[in-house]
């Protein structure tokens, strides 16, 4: 299993409104909130500009018993665009913030899934997320390390 649904029904409207008020934060279809250096030190970027996103990040960390927060990026994906999930010290999580035409139909390897705004997923590394929906999708891509592998590894 390369994709596992962790939650559904999160309300991203306040966060999307905050992003819409600050279009200047977008850089090549991404808004970097947090990144890490090769030494593991955190670099905080637009995190204070978008405080509405904190509740989703911390809720995710609580859900998977998160211990170490890695990079956090808001990504705008056009129809047909892809996102590569590389091997990192952290696990990959995708929270679907917005999807035109009702949802994000994505594929990762041979697995396919319909994701609606408000859904959260664990995604395996070494895969490619493809936006197969009929329009633009905005996701929150969070990398973090759970306290125990049993909290995020699918059965």
The predicted model scores a pTM of 0.85
Residue 54 CA to residue 69 CA, distance in Å, equals: 12
Query: Which domains does the chain carry?
Result: 3-151 (2.60.120.330)
Encode pLDDT of 29-88 as tens digits: 888 888 876 566 667 777 788 888 888 998 888 888 888 888 889 999 888 888 887 777
SS (H, E, C) 24-88: HHCECCEEEEEEECCCCCEEECCCCCCHHHHHHHHHHHHHCCEEEEEEEEEEEECCCCEEEECCC
DSSP H or E segment with residue 14: helix 13-20
Residue 46 CA to residue 148 CA, distance in Å, equals: 29
Residue 141 CA to residue 139 CA, distance in Å, equals: 6
Encode pLDDT of 99-151 as tens digits: 776 567 667 777 777 888 888 888 877 777 888 778 888 989 998 888 765 44
């Amino acid at each position: 299993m390369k994709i596992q649904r962790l939650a559904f029904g999160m309300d991203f409207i306040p966060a999307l409104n905050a992003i819409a008020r600050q279009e200047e934060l977008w850089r090549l279809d991404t808004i970097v909130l947090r990144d890490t250096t090769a030494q593991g030190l955190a670099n905080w970027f637009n995190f204070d500009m978008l405080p509405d996103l904190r509740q989703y990040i911390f809720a995710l960390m609580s859900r998977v018993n998160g211990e170490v927060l890695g990079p956090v990026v808001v990504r705008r994906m056009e129809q047909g665009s892809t996102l590569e999930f590389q091997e990192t010290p952290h696990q990959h999580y995708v929270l679907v913030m917005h999807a035109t035409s009702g949802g994000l139909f994505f594929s990762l390897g041979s697995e396919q899934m319909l994701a609606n705004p408000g859904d959260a997923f664990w995604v395996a590394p070494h895969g490619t997320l493809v936006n197969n929906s009929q329009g633009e999708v905005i996701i929150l891509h969070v990398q973090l390390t759970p306290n125990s592998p049993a909290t995020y590894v699918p059965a």
